């Protein structure tokens, strides 16, 4: 291998111009691939983080209420006009046991039962339709760290206190320590209360900032007419992409309706998938054009070195040795381009992080560099295969005569 290595390195070094040009092409290709993969990964992570910053990974609901018609007799045929039932607010049965069960589950990071339902918020003559979210603040914060998004006041809920969204506060002209009237079931039901605003949050999601009112769990239960009950259990999992699988398992375990964030955000998921697909396609085509670049440079190099190949063969170089020399050149070009391309992608990422929109940071992780370098080297090797075979098959007699 010593001699083959020497020949490959010297051939590359001597054809300085060609080597430099194709190296630049490979460098650009590798840099583009690394940069775009890192960019899309960062973008997707950012989108997922934003989405999951305001919602649980998995939500557990009480099963839907359905009509249960009497079973059919043997041979009986029945025509049925079914009127689906309206889904009233119901509690998850036995939720304390479920909570303890989930708490003990190794795959769940946080468990937060909550009671939520619709209500009207009123201040003066203004009415707004809102969603009451009754929470256990400690547990809830583990799922959604809402305290980070407080823009006025503080995140403190308890008897008679509420934390409202910024748009709702805006609409109703609320400030911290203002009073707010909540009506969750008509004036004669007794399910109404006057709350004091202790904090205003802004999650950056219009729907939530306009409608959410956080309350203490017991107070929400009372307002929603669910004494001691909860409507939902929010769950957090360590790996966001395992949510689907864990949701399916929990559904089998409990028989409840279990929804992962991936189901809830199916549009986002297909957008992410499409993005990943386009990234792979771009990477693939860049790699293909780099491969053809390497192949064409080596083809030219073989024509230029025909006589040298002939001399080497006459001096005792075997076909396999000539094959190795040119395969090595391909691999070396790929590797050199990969190293330079990695450095360039770092520079690109730095430029994006420093001068870019600042929405998110592009992080280039070592594994990406290693796999990109391995792929580039392999691409060089494969691209060199056809020219290298031609070099190996050159007839030494004809090659020596080659002017």
Partner 1 sequence: MPEEVLHLARVHKSYNIGQPAQTEVLHGIDLHLARGDFAALIGPSGSGKSTLLNLIGLLDTPSAGEIHLLGRPTQTMNDTERTMHRACAIGFVFQFHHLINSFSVMENILMPLMLTRGKPKLQDTQLAYTLLAEVGLADHATRRPDELSGGQQQRVAVVRALITRPALLLADEPTGNLDTTSADSVFQLLRRFHQEFGCAVLLVTHDPRLSSACDRTIKIIDGHIVSDTSHIASGDNSH
Residues that bind partner 1 (CB under 8 A): 1-3, 6-7, 10-11, 13-14, 307-308, 311-321, 396-397, 400
Of the pair 12, 110, the CB lying nearest partner 1 is at 12
Give dist(CA 264, CA 250) in Å, integer.
Answer: 16
Burial class of residue 277, CB neighbours in 10 A (0-12, 13-18, 19+)? exposed
Q: How far is the CB of 15 from partner 1 (least distance, A)?
A: 9
Of the pair 289, 318, the CB lying nearest partner 1 is at 318
Q: How far is the CB of 313 from partner 1 (least distance, A)?
A: 7
The answer to whether residues 162 and 153 touch, using CB atoms and an 8 Å cutoff, is no
The answer to whether residues 191 and 175 touch, using CB atoms and an 8 Å cutoff, is no
Of the pair 211, 313, the CB lying nearest partner 1 is at 313
Of the pair 113, 330, the CB lying nearest partner 1 is at 330
Of the pair 10, 85, the CB lying nearest partner 1 is at 10
The answer to whether residues 56 and 234 touch, using CB atoms and an 8 Å cutoff, is yes
The answer to whether residues 88 and 224 touch, using CB atoms and an 8 Å cutoff, is no
Q: How far is the CB of 343 from partner 1 (least distance, A)?
A: 28
Q: How far is the CB of 403 from partner 1 (least distance, A)?
A: 10
Q: How far is the CB of 7 from partner 1 (least distance, A)?
A: 8
Helices (H), 225-318: 243-254, 261-264, 266-304, 306-314
Q: How far is the CB of 3 from partner 1 (least distance, A)?
A: 4
Q: How far is the CB of 301 from partner 1 (least distance, A)?
A: 11
In the block, residue with structure tokens 């006589």: 307
- Reference 84, options 67, 63, 70, 68; nearest CA is 67
Of the pair 79, 315, the CB lying nearest partner 1 is at 315
Of the pair 6, 49, the CB lying nearest partner 1 is at 6
Of the pair 6, 270, the CB lying nearest partner 1 is at 6
Of the pair 242, 304, the CB lying nearest partner 1 is at 304
In the block, residue with structure tokens 């990071």: 109
Please report which helix (H) or strand (E) contains residue 73, including its range: none
Distances 162 to 11, 134, 143, 170, 219 between C-alpha atoms, Å: 76, 10, 19, 15, 10
Q: How far is the CB of 374 from partner 1 (least distance, A)?
A: 27
236 - beta bridge partners? 110
Burial class of residue 299, CB neighbours in 10 A (0-12, 13-18, 19+)? middle
379: left (phi over 0), alpha (psi -120 to 50) or beta: alpha
Q: Across the chain, which distance is largest between two alpha carbons, in Å?
A: 108
Phi (first) and psi of residue 208, to 5 degrees:
-75, -45
Q: How far is the CB of 337 from partner 1 (least distance, A)?
A: 21
């Amino acid at each position: 291998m010593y001699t083959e290595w020497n020949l490959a390195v010297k051939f590359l070094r001597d054809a300085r111009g060609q080597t430099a040009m194709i190296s630049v092409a490979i460098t650009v290709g590798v840099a583009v691939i690394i940069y775009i993969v890192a960019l899309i990964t960062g973008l997707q992570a950012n989108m997922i983080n934003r989405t999951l910053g305001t919602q649980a990974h998995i939500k557990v609901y009480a099963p839907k209420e359905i009509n249960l018609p009497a079973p059919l007799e043997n041979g009986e045929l029945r025509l049925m006009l079914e009127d689906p039932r309206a889904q009233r607010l119901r509690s998850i049965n036995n939720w304390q046991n479920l909570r303890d069960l989930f708490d003990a589950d190794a795959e769940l990071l946080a468990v937060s039962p909550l009671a939520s339902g619709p209500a009207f918020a009123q201040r003066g003559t203004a009415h707004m339709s809102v969603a009451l979210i009754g929470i256990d603040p400690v547990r809830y914060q583990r799922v959604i760290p809402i305290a980070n998004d407080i823009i006025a006041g503080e995140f403190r809920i308890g008897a008679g206190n509420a934390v409202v969204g910024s748009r709702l506060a805006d609409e109703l002209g609320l400030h911290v320590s203002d009073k707010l009237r909540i009506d969750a079931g008509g004036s004669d039901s007794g399910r109404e209360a006057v709350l004091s605003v202790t904090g205003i949050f802004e999650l950056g999601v219009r729907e939530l900032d306009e409608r959410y009112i956080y309350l203490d769990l017991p107070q929400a239960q009372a307002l929603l007419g669910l004494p001691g009950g909860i409507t939902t259990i929010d769950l957090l999992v360590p790996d966001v992409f395992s949510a689907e699988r864990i949701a399916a398992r929990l559904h089998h375990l409990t028989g409840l309706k279990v929804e992962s964030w991936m189901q809830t955000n199916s549009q986002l998921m297909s957008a992410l998938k499409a993005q990943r697909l386009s990234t792979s396609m771009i990477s693939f085509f860049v790699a293909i054009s780099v491969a053809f670049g390497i192949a064409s440079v080596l083809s030219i190099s073989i024509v230029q070195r025909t006589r040298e190949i002939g001399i080497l063969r006459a001096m005792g170089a075997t076909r396999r040795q000539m094959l190795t020399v040119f395969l090595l050149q391909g691999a070396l070009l790929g590797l050199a381009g990969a190293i330079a391309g990695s450095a360039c992608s770092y520079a690109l990422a730095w430029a994006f992080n420093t001068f870019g929109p600042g929405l998110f940071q592009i992080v280039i992780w070592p594994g990406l560099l290693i796999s990109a370098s391995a792929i580039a080297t392999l691409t060089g090797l494969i691209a060199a295969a056809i020219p290298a075979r031609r070099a190996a098959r050159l007839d030494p007699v004809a090659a020596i005569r080659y002017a």
